[in-house]
Amino acid sequence: MNIDLSQFVGEFLQESFEGLDLMESSLLTFTGEAEVVDSIFRVAHSIKGGAGTFGFSEIALFTHGVETLLDKMRHDADFVSEELINLLLEAVDLLRSMLQATQDDNGLDQYLVTDLNRKIEKILGSEVLANVADDDATGALQDEDSSVAKCLWLIDFKPSLEMLKSGNEPVFIFAALAELGVLIVTPNVDNLPEIKDFEADSLYICWHLKLQVAGNDQQKMAEEIQEVFEWVEDFCDLKITSVIEAPTITASVVAASEPMLHLADANNQNSEDSDTEIIDKMINSRSTIGGDVGSVRVDTEKLDELMNRVGELVVTQAMLAQALDSQIKDGYQNLRLEEGLLQLERNTRDLQEGVMRMRMMPISFVFNRFRRLVHDVSNTLNKKVRLEIRGAQTEIDKTVMEKIGDPLTHLIRNALDHGLESPQQRIENGKPEVGTIVLSAYHQNGFVVIDIIDDGRGLDLKKILKKAIALDLISQEQLLSDDEIKALIFRPGFTTADELSELSGRGVGMDVVMRNIESLGGGVSVVSEEGRGSSFSVKVPLTLAIIEGQLVHVDEDVYVLPLVSIIETVFIKTSNIKTIGAHSYFMDYREEYLHLIDLKKFLEKNNDNSDAAANDIFTAKHESILVIITESAGKKVGLVIDALSGQQQFVVKPLETNFKKVQGLIGGTILGDGSVALILDAAGLIAREELRNNVVPINKEVVL
């Protein structure tokens, strides 16, 4: 057996991590469904099997204990308790770190393993005491887990040719053995006849089995094993021997989890080939266990590369279309070429969409994480919380998904900590004792909106206002609308918590959430009713790779402004522009004075002559100017531009790949003529302008 198994280890670990995630989320939503227990069991089982195959005997043995618990859960609905679920969650965590340790080649914390094993024993043990007439399996396994001695059973199983005809199936026997411990099955195919002599219902294979169990009751174990072979005793030669202090299982052939594969490969004469195939099949079947039938694992890098190529194709296609346009203007006509280009355009668009879709993943990957968060945090806070998840299948780009995890965690923690009241308070207020947090995702105009809704106390506007004044974020005299007060919570340094709690209120709060979401080209808004609850809406683009944008002309330069940050475009009379000090210009926009940023100035460096040129725009030379009103973090500014042209989708290319990040720019994009246009970032522009004008934002000096 000289197959190099190490190449499959990565695959095994990957599958196992995913399996554990599934196990965790299933445990958290578990309400007693048999199918759920089955799926959790399958995960544990394939981890055990895989770990056995690759020689991670510690993991295999530990998983075996977990499996016992699950098996008990499967057969005895009364066994399920809060305590058991928590224990299983701990086991998931431990398995995860065990696998991680294997991946990183680090040592395991043996104490944790023993500790948790003891807990598992305890829960099983107490059960056994309570219920003396327990089934055999539990009794046996209790023995196993309480012992430190490991025992290896060697079983030579030589069935007769007639065994299959008697209605006995070796696969089931092996499955039964696998229940007892870690099983390694080695087939012997020496007796296989020539294919012409092959009879389908005869059994030509014999097996050598290694069964590793932890247990000190040898007698009982022997009986257990014997019992498995009870029905086939007359049809086979059976030899069972035991070796105490078993050596570490070396990866030989295949784990117990897929014994049926041996049969599938029974026709294969060459044992070495068959082994490789067995492993292949094992891996395939493992991914089917994961539930993603018919899917392919692809490196994200490869997808990005493909995405880039398609982006290029779009540009090339646009270039051809432009060339044709100019030829048509010159009176040249070629209908076939026109038609072909039209088709090319359609195809490229479809291809682009297809590639985009490949990067999309259901948002449940992030959402499932929060079940655990809510479970843990509500326990810490002694609050009763029900988490309701809606729209978990909503698809979102992988890169966006990776970046919304933290902000969402923050919002959910806030909802749990500040939003929901304690059970007593809730009852006093005439609300159900159990609070509800709804996490809901849906698509809206090319964006994904995620709502975090709680039925807690809602935002206390008076408290926010008081706190904001205390923190010097606003002055006592300022009159603010309700919405403006709500917007205060997104200011840096703002916190309503009177004391810093473990969970939230470390001083960095909603402003970070806001900025992180805005850096993705999205936004956060809040609706709240005092005493009834709050709803935070996080709006993020479907993807970061493509944005909807507006082409904007400033002198001979062309920029792209993301549509999401545009409120409207207006012409204003230069005579209506107000000045404050030397270079600060304001316009009257719906009874609000907005700061004007001249995009021409944006390009100039901070040298003296630029001011003279810049002032030009605001003088009477132009009767009116074109202004785009943009918004970011509740701040509105007017961008002075020369002209607008088309709205379209743009493929975003980061500048930092070969250069560096520039404040005020999201990146660049390649236009139809092959030239580069820079994509403006409203938030960055505002921040930059504040710096340039030395307008110290009122919140900058907050000292906590």
- Using left for φ > 0, alpha for ψ between -120 and 50, and beta otherwise, residue 508 falls in beta
CB 671 within 8 A of CB 696: no
Q: Is 659 in the site for another protein (CB under 8 A)?
A: yes
Q: Is 704 in the site for another protein (CB under 8 A)?
A: yes
CB 632 within 8 A of CB 645: no
Q: Is 303 in the site for another protein (CB under 8 A)?
A: no
Nearer to another protein, 258 or 681 (CB): 681
Antiparallel, parallel or unpaired: β 676-680 and 557-562: parallel
CB 218 within 8 A of CB 225: no
Q: Is 656 in the site for another protein (CB under 8 A)?
A: yes
Q: Is 505 in the site for another protein (CB under 8 A)?
A: no
45-53, 123-131, 344-352, 647-655 -> range binding another protein (CB under 8 A): 647-655
Using CA atoms, how far apart are residues 641 and 555, in angstroms rounded to an integer? Answer: 8
Q: Is 511 in the site for another protein (CB under 8 A)?
A: yes
67-75, 526-534, 614-622, 667-675 -> range binding another protein (CB under 8 A): 667-675
341-349, 382-390, 452-460, 508-516 -> range binding another protein (CB under 8 A): 508-516
Nearer to another protein, 432 or 507 (CB): 507
The count of chain residues that interact with another protein, using the rule CB under 8 A, is: 42
Q: Is 523 in the site for another protein (CB under 8 A)?
A: no
Binders of another protein among residues 600 to 629 (CB under 8 A) are 602-603, 605
SS3 of 649-677: EEECECCCCCCCCCCCEEEEEECCCCCEE
Using CA atoms, how far apart are residues 173 and 180, in angstroms rounded to an integer? Answer: 11
Q: Is 670 in the site for another protein (CB under 8 A)?
A: yes
Using CA atoms, how far apart are residues 575 and 6, in angstroms rounded to an integer? Answer: 76
Determine which residue in the list 2, 295, 481, 658 makes contact with another protein, applying CB under 8 A: 658
Determine which residue in the list 122, 302, 309, 578 makes contact with another protein, applying CB under 8 A: 309
Supply the minimum distance, in Å, between the C-beta of residue 605 and another protein.
7
Tokens of 218: 């040898």
Determine which residue in the list 11, 217, 345, 557 makes contact with another protein, applying CB under 8 A: 557
Determine which residue in the list 674, 691, 696, 698 makes contact with another protein, applying CB under 8 A: 674
Q: Is 318 in the site for another protein (CB under 8 A)?
A: no
Nearer to another protein, 446 or 492 (CB): 492
Q: Is 664 in the site for another protein (CB under 8 A)?
A: yes
Tokens of 689: 């302008």
Determine which residue in the list 372, 384, 398, 653 makes contact with another protein, applying CB under 8 A: 653
Q: Is 694 in the site for another protein (CB under 8 A)?
A: no
Q: Is 515 in the site for another protein (CB under 8 A)?
A: yes
Q: Is 508 in the site for another protein (CB under 8 A)?
A: yes
Q: Is 405 in the site for another protein (CB under 8 A)?
A: no
Q: Is 323 in the site for another protein (CB under 8 A)?
A: no
Using CA atoms, how far apart are residues 212 and 178, in angstroms rounded to an integer? Answer: 9
Tokens of 392: 């978990």
**Residue where the block lists tokens 């048999």:** 34
Tell me the sheet residues that pair with 255: 184
Q: Is 468 in the site for another protein (CB under 8 A)?
A: no
The DSSP code sequence of 505-533 is -SS--HHHHHHHHHHTT-EEEEEEETTTE
Nearer to another protein, 456 or 664 (CB): 664
616-625: list long-range contacts, CB under 8 Å, 24+ apart: 617/574, 618/574, 618/577, 618/579, 618/585, 619/574, 620/574, 620/575, 622/574, 623/573, 623/574, 624/571, 624/572, 624/573, 624/574, 625/571, 625/572, 625/574
Q: Which helix (H) or strand (E) holds 90?
A: helix 82-104
What is each CA distance from 534 to 14, 160, 525, in whole angstroms? 38, 71, 11
Using CA atoms, how far apart are residues 573 and 678, in angstroms rounded to an integer? Answer: 28
Supply the minimum distance, in Å, between the C-beta of residue 91 and another protein.
33
48-56, 127-135, 210-218, 506-514 -> range binding another protein (CB under 8 A): 506-514
Using CA atoms, how far apart are residues 336 and 340, in angstroms rounded to an integer? Answer: 6
Nearer to another protein, 605 or 621 (CB): 605
Supply the minimum distance, in Å, between the C-beta of residue 496 and another protein.
15
Supply the minimum distance, in Å, between the C-beta of residue 499 and another protein.
16
**Residue where the block lists tokens 């003396």:** 132
Q: Is 503 in the site for another protein (CB under 8 A)?
A: no
Q: Is 345 in the site for another protein (CB under 8 A)?
A: no
CB 161 within 8 A of CB 204: yes
Nearer to another protein, 487 or 677 (CB): 677
**Contacting positions for another protein (CB under 8 A):** 308-309, 311-312, 315, 492-493, 507-508, 511-512, 515-516, 519, 557, 602-603, 605, 653-665, 667-668, 670, 674-678, 700, 702, 704
